[in-house]
Amino acid sequence: MAAKVDWAKYLEEQEKQEKLLANKVSEIEVSNNDSEAQKAGGDASSEDGPDHFSPAEVSLLQKIIRKGLVESKCDIEIQRQDPNSPLYSVKTFEALHLKPNLLKGVYEMGFNAPSKIQETALPTLLADPPQNLIAQSQSGTGKTAAFVLAMLSRVDPTKHYPQVLCLSPTYELAIQTGEVAAHMAKFCPEIELKYAVRGEEMPRGTKITEHIIIGTPGKVLDWGIKFRTFDLSKITVFVLDEADVMIATQGHQDQCIRIHKCLDRKCQMMFFSATYDQDVIEFAEVIVSNPLIIRLKREEESLDNIQQYYVKCANKQEKYDAVTNIYGTVGVGQAIIFCHTRRAANWLAEKMTKDGHAVAVLTGDLTVEQRIAVLDRFRNGQEKVLITTNVLSRGIDVEQVTIVVNYDLPVDINGKPDCETYLHRIGRTGRFGKRGIAINLIDSSEAMLICQSIEKHFNRKIKYLNAEDSDEIEKIGA
């Protein structure tokens, strides 16, 4: 368990340090910690080292991956302070008594019925008096649509000042949320939205008149406290999205707490996080008082319907030959190939493309726009093979994926077998009760030991496959 952090005390100490510094220096140009460092372009990690993605990048990719994919069937857990208070749930959006044009926007987005988390969250978020909420669930479960619908429902368009504030840890994540809000409010032109992100500026002395602000902590802190372009005390709904990513981003914790301190005590608080670790719980306790807590139970990965094999390879060329032999022989829909480094992923993608295979590659050196394009093409079936690093070991649900190849077996930072990542990787096949195939390429005695450790850990046989024998390969796909 993580050491307990007293966020309030932490903030006080930060403010004391700033005052001391201000007394010593007459003119300081304070940089806006608006998550510029979290831009999801490339990072500085070596091509030969493991590919690294920041928590914000991973979260953004999973939001993109989950667009329009199969809805989670996981159950939810509910915790509340008063077990005797009524708890409502709905099975239709009509039961929420939304404004007609807002309901029209919901259906326009393709939502026919509330998801598991929306069934319970929405009646709570829309209740009168307002109820505070903490919701924990992975991407793709409908939590963004839930809090956006609540945000739009709480707006009084006759009041021309910000009433709703939504914080996201990065520019890209804020834009994602804003796009959902704009789409859902398509038939409500009277509701106005303002982005508080890098590149957006407010002339000195002007006031924000839009009803909803979606932004990053640094920019909101500047606009709300430093330049007073809007009144934080008039905010009636405060949403903290991607809280676990926020905590992992340097400087965002104290920025969020400073913003929170300026809000009215009656302001409705909504706190959303993909994880519910100890540091997230402690941070939530500072932000949200007397909340209803909704947690979505994680879908359990299963190896029962996945056939696992290993192939012995003497070198890089033999690994390549194994991949092409298997993919060329087995009648597969789509395949994901996991590599440990960017260099391996890029080399493999280039070689397969030259040999006429429709291949997409996703690594940390691509820009956000390039990553989105890659995922869209793969999801739409334009490329049959996706070569990637560990960023996609969790979260992707593409029904046509029938084969996963571990070009490199997953290891932790100490080179030990990473069984959890292995489980998530091969769980990308065999989805929705279908049979799947997992192939592990073994090119050294060390790799063989890792494979044997994984086999022992899961108590599931990983069978030997001769990748040069086409008859044997055909059998596994039968």
Instruction: Tell me the domain boundaries of the chain.
Output: 53-296, 306-476
> How high is the pLDDT of residue 126?
92
CATH topology of domain 306-476: Rossmann fold (3.40.50)
Confidence category of residue 72, pLDDT binned at 50, 70, 90: very low
Least confident of 172-181, 252-261, 281-290, 420-429: 420-429
| pTM: predicted TM-score of the whole model, two decimal places | 0.63
User: What's the mean pLDDT in 427-446?
Assistant: 76
Instruction: Report the percent of the chain where pLDDT is more than 90.
Output: 37
For residues 342 and 389, what is the distance between their CA atoms, to the nearest angstrom?
Answer: 7
What stretch of H or E contains 463? strand 463-464
Residue 175 has pLDDT above 70, yes or no: yes
Residue 71 has pLDDT above 70, yes or no: no
CATH fit for domain 53-296, picks 3.40.50.720, 3.40.50.300, 3.30.1490.20, 3.40.50.620: 3.40.50.300
By three-state DSSP, how is residue 200 classified? coil
Residue 419 has pLDDT above 90, yes or no: no
Confidence category of residue 171, pLDDT binned at 50, 70, 90: confident
For residues 419 and 425, what is the distance between their CA atoms, to the nearest angstrom?
Answer: 10
What stretch of H or E contains 306? strand 306-312
- 401 contacts 425 by C-beta, under 8 angstroms: no
Same fold, 53-296 and 306-476: yes
Q: Bigger pLDDT: 85 or 51?
A: 51
> How high is the pLDDT of residue 258?
94
- 422 contacts 454 by C-beta, under 8 angstroms: yes
231: Cα within 13 Å, side-chain hemisphere: 10
Strand extents, DSSP E, 221-305: 237-240, 268-273, 292-296
CB atoms within 10 A of CB 221: 24
CB atoms within 10 A of CB 48: 10
**Distances from the Cα of 138 to the Cα of 39, 127, 168, 256, 350, angstroms:** 22, 24, 16, 22, 33
Question: What ranges in 299-436 are assigned the alpha helix state H?
Answer: 316-329, 342-354, 368-379, 419-426
